[in-house]
Amino acid sequence: MDSKELKQRLDKFMQACKSKGYSIDELCIVPAYPGISDSSYNVQVKADWLNKTICSEALEILIDILFETTDVETRTNIFCIQILDKNEDVSCQSNGVESLQLENH
């Protein structure tokens, strides 16, 4: 799956975040391993509420919505979720979405 298809598959996730009061201002898809084709991707998100929420709580909200709105194939292509701060630096990230499929859901 390429980054364009993954971003398209995350449209429902973005809409669900908004409808639940957790709007995402920006979402970017970045290769987890640049230069390696067919690798998984980091999903980078940016929103004011994310930087005002404790990292673990923000990630729990995002991951719960991700599992509600995506299929296994989509999640398999996501290495982790990264929260960006106002300077677009990674302020927080999940340990890995793929491993959460077995642990929590």
Annotate the chain with three-state secondary structure: CCHHHHHHHCHHHHHHHHHCCCCCCEEEEEECCCCCCCCCEEEEEECHHHHHCCHHHHHHHHHHHHHHHCCHHHHHCEEEEEEECCCCCEEEECCCHHHHHHHCC
Weakest-pLDDT range from 11-20, 50-59, 87-96:
87-96
The pLDDT of 84-96, averaged and rounded, is: 87
> How much is the mean pLDDT over the chain?
89
pLDDT (0 to 100) of residue 93: 83
- Judged on CB neighbours under 10 Å (0-12, 13-18, 19+), 70 is buried
pLDDT digits (tens, 9 = 90+) for 33-77: 888 877 899 999 999 999 899 999 999 999 999 999 999 999 999
For residue 105, pLDDT beyond 60: no
Confidence of residue 104 (pLDDT cuts 50, 70, 90): very low
Nearest CA to 85 among 43, 46, 27, 29? 46
CATH code, 3-99: 3.30.300
Residue 59 to residue 49: CA distance in whole angstroms: 12
CA–CA–CA angle 56, 23, 92 (5° rounding): 30
Confidence of residue 97 (pLDDT cuts 50, 70, 90): low
